[in-house]
Chains A and B, each alone.
Chain A
Amino acid sequence: MSVEYRDFTVTNRLDRLTLTIPDGERIAYLGRSGAGKTTALKAINGLVRATSGDLLVDGTSIASHDLVQLRRRIGYVMQQPALFPHRTVYENIATVPRLLQWPEDRTRAEVKALLQKLELPDFENRYPRVLSGGEQQRVAIARALIASPRLLLCDEPFSALDPIIRMELQTLLVETASDTTLVFVTHDFREALRIAGRIVFFDAGRVIADAATAAINVQQHPLVRRFREAAS
């Protein structure tokens, strides 16, 4: 799925953002807290609306999309796993398939396969409360990926996890979501390098740098330099 911001503005959060994400790209939004990266992310699935300007998903303005239908085709993972506490792991992951009215045996088979891939075998009947933070986040990833979305939105999904599990999940995410457009919000420079092919730096509601991951080391903006120094 492609995404295109056109002078996208949200009062006090984002200032005339213009940015194109081609289908299949893996892009990271990097910046400090309050820089506007989460606002930019949530604009894509309509959780945040524009004050002015427009946003196109697959070439169609977000205002013309049926948001409910669109959201079922876009995966979304945030820092808090936010699993449904009254539902088992299976029922959590089966949420979108049930909304899409898949036959139950198809859902069952795909959930099983995805849990294998995410190294959570036989977790179907457990409740979220008995899982560790890393396990909960893996279930949240499975819940976002089960219906094979062509676009995955991640809002600092690993920042609450310890460094070892964080690294494991970064690898796992890149492998599992390999043919999906990925928009990944983070304030961790190394994480952005590991996951994305392109990095967009946000500061105070504006984009201050936009470069392929390979070319990021020649960016001379002071904030980019500070991020780089902090990570090395």
Chain B
Amino acid sequence: MNLLRLTGEHLLIVVVAVSIAIAAGVPLGTFAHRRRGAGGIALRITDAVQTIPSLAMFGFLIPLPFIGGIGARPAIVALVLYSLLPIVRSTLVGLQRVDPHVREAATAMGMTGRQLLMQIELPLATPAIVAGIRIAVVTAIGVATIAAAVGGGGLGTLIFRGVAMVDTRLILSGALPAALLALGADVVLTQVERHFARKRGEA
């Protein structure tokens, strides 16, 4: 089994899924900030999704048409669902933490709601959003190992095969790189987060 290919596959699934989750989650978090009612519902749904055990999630996805079945597609769908919550929530928290006086100053200077959001609120929320992305990526790297159960590929393939063959070395050859990926992603994204925090004048 080609370790490099499986690692690449693993990363690809995670990157695609988290990218989709960012594209959906940041607007959702912004919406949740603007409209408390609808936003609360969106948060509760993503909250509920988060509580589904990952193996059960893949089970649910298998019979579904278009987004389900087996292979990389349901794996990505599951990872998107898991990544949504931390990103939506961190976007919301980041926006809520913007100093109300800063918001008032921007409004009083004649910024439209959109200018306020794009020029002031989202830039100031960036460190929090990156923190959410970090949590999403680390979680997704872990959950992606289970995607192998539905033929999603990635490092989980080695783990499941090792379990079936009672081969500890085979299990570790999948588990160790997966753990290292998660650790590496955490370290790198923590740095990115600090960089933004410094730039935003918080450090």
Contact = CB atoms under 8 A, between A and B. Distances in A.
Interface of A: 45, 47, 68-74, 76, 78, 80, 82-86, 95-96, 99, 127-129, 140, 143
A84 B107 contact: no
A47 B102 contact: no
B110 A96 contact: yes
Contacts, number: 60
A99 B200 contact: no
A72 B200 contact: no
Contacts of A73: 110
Best-buried of B101, B107, B110, B123 by chain A (most CB within 10 Å): B110
B120 interface: yes
16 contacts: A45-B108, A68-B112, A71-B108, A71-B109, A72-B110, A76-B108, A80-B101, A83-B105, A84-B102, A84-B106, A86-B199, A86-B201, A96-B109, A99-B110, A99-B115, A143-B109
Interface string B148-184: 0000000000000000000000000000000000000
Interface string B90-128: 000000000101101111111110010000100110000
A82 B108 CA distance: 11
Nearest to B113: A68
A47 B107 contact: yes
Best-buried of B105, B115, B123 by chain A (most CB within 10 Å): B105
A174 B46 CA distance: 55
Contacts of B200: 85-86
A83 B107 CA distance: 13
Contacts of B112: 68
Given A82-B105, A83-B102, 15 more contacts: A47-B107, A70-B110, A71-B110, A72-B109, A73-B110, A76-B105, A78-B101, A80-B99, A82-B102, A82-B104, A85-B200, A85-B202, A86-B123, A96-B110, A143-B109
